[in-house]
Amino acid sequence: MEDAEIVLMFSLLIIPVAIWLQLWVKNRRENRKNMLGEEEFESTFRALFSIVLEGAAIVGGLIMIIMGLSGTIKYFINFYAV
């Protein structure tokens, strides 16, 4: 395979991983909610750890989505350019 097809393959594979990462963060947040709809933590350390972990997952997932879409779009522009 050429380099362009390899980039396209990885770009298409990274998009579902990034979407799964965003859904994982959403499910973690929903599982922590109490009856009133507020998030509860057992300790300050767990709250800080969750904030850092989920923040990194959200930013990383968005970066992966941007990179995956840009690689896919770049491939189609180069492949179908006249």
Domain residue extents for the chain: 3-80
How much is the pLDDT for 1?
56
Backbone dihedral angles phi then psi of residue 56, each to the nearest 5 degrees:
-65, -35
Instruction: Tell me if 23 sits within 8 A of 49, measured CB to CB.
Output: no
User: Whole-angstrom Cα distance, residue 49 to residue 35?
Assistant: 23
Does the reported pTM lie above 0.85? no
pLDDT tens-digit profile, the chain (82 residues): 578 888 889 999 999 999 999 999 999 999 888 888 888 888 999 999 999 999 999 999 999 999 999 999 998 898 888 6
How much is the pLDDT for 82?
65
- Cβ count near 67 (within 10 Å): 15
Ramachandran area for residue 37 (φ above 0: left; ψ -120 to 50: alpha; else beta)? left
